Amino acid sequence: MARPRASLIFLVLIALAHPGAPRAGTPIIDCAGSPAEAVKALPPPLNKWGQIACTPYGHVVAATGNWTWIWPDGSGTVFIPSQLVMSNPQLLGNRSYFTDIDVTRVRGDEFDQAYATFREGLDLSEVPPDVYRADLTSVSGKVMKVYFFDYDTFAWGMSCPDNNCVQDSRFIMLDRTREPLPRRPPI
Which run of H or of E encompasses 98?
Answer: strand 98-105
Rounded to a whole number, what is the distance in angstroms from the first to the last CA of the chain? 34
145 pLDDT higher than 90: yes
pLDDT in tens, 68-127: 999 999 999 999 999 988 788 899 999 999 999 999 999 999 999 999 999 888 776 778
Considering only the C-alpha atoms of the chain, give the largest distance between any 2 of them, rounded to a whole number of Å.
50
pLDDT band with cut points at 50, 70 and 90 for residue 17: very low
Domains of the chain, by residue range, sit at: 6-86+95-175
Give pTM, 2 decimals: 0.84
14 pLDDT higher than 90: no
| Share of residues in the chain with pLDDT > 90 (%) | 67
pLDDT band with cut points at 50, 70 and 90 for residue 26: low
Sheet holding 171-175, edge to edge: 67-70, 171-175, 154-159, 143-150, 130-138, 98-105
Give the chain's mean pLDDT: 85
Q: What is the mean pLDDT of residues 37-60?
A: 96
Given this model, what pLDDT does residue 146 score?
Answer: 97
Instruction: Report in angstroms the alpha-carbon separations of 129 from 55, 151, 152.
Output: 32, 5, 8
